[in-house]
Amino acid sequence: MTELTERSAVPAPPVAVEPPPIAPPAQLPEAGELLPWPELEAAVAACRRCRLCETRTHTVFGRGRPGARWLLVGEAPGENEDRQGLAFVGRAGQLLDNMLASIGLDSETDVFITNVLKCRPPGNRNPAGDEIAACQGYLLQQIAHLKPTLIIALGRFAAQTLLQNSDSIARLRGKVHRYHDIPLIVSFHPAYLLRNLPDKAKAWQDLVLALRTQRALEQTH
């Protein structure tokens, strides 16, 4: 999902950006609490836990390989994702695929890509706190199934929601965080990078940090 909708021809006055509402922290489900992967996907498709079910076209469970080592998490589906039912499609998705390919990863086999929310907020507005809380269990189930060795949070909302804080993305980048003891790297949302091309160099640094973190993990196991 794009973190900001396309700018109009006439610049709007600056608006203060509020931090995303933080859903209550929760533990990953135990093995006995896990839905089988096909049942989890079906549960997301049929979900009516919040108001977003009234306006969505499709739910967006994710894309990639369930057995992949890396998990990439964005904010929520955008217009293209809602229409196709797939995570990170369109220009932002193409950029993400190309960025992954640049470090030797295939977006369909080497990673799994999903979002904090599984339904598109109308007009690509920011997620609401009750929507994040309603969807949280699905993401926790996905993480418990996938058992990723590394998580990359794409964009401010995903990073702040997963890490349960309101720090800026500038403060969150460049370090290795922990999410349920899984290393987590913060980077920019690819839709942001489409509008701010100079920051692609910083996104590359984030991917390099992710690779170094993965290699360090492999050396200790």
Q: What does the pLDDT look like over 33-63, one tens digit per residue?
A: 899 999 999 999 999 999 999 999 999 999 9
The enclosing H or E element of 37 equals: helix 37-45
| Residue 214 confidence (pLDDT) above 80 | yes
**Greater confidence, 80 or 5?**
80
pTM: 0.87
Could you tell me which residues come within 8 angstroms of residue 14 by beta carbon, excluding any fewer than 6 positions away? none
Select from 215, 212, 192, 218 the least CA-distant residue to 203. Answer: 192
Average pLDDT, the chain: 89
| Whole-number pLDDT of residue 4 | 42
| Whole-number pLDDT of residue 3 | 47
Share of the chain above pLDDT 70, in %: 88
The span from the CA of 187 to the CA of 173, in Å, is 6
Query: Contact at 8 Å (CB) between 141 and 173?
Result: no
Strand partners, 104: none
Rounded (10°) CA dihedral 8, 122, 131, 176: -40
The span from the CA of 187 to the CA of 156, in Å, is 8
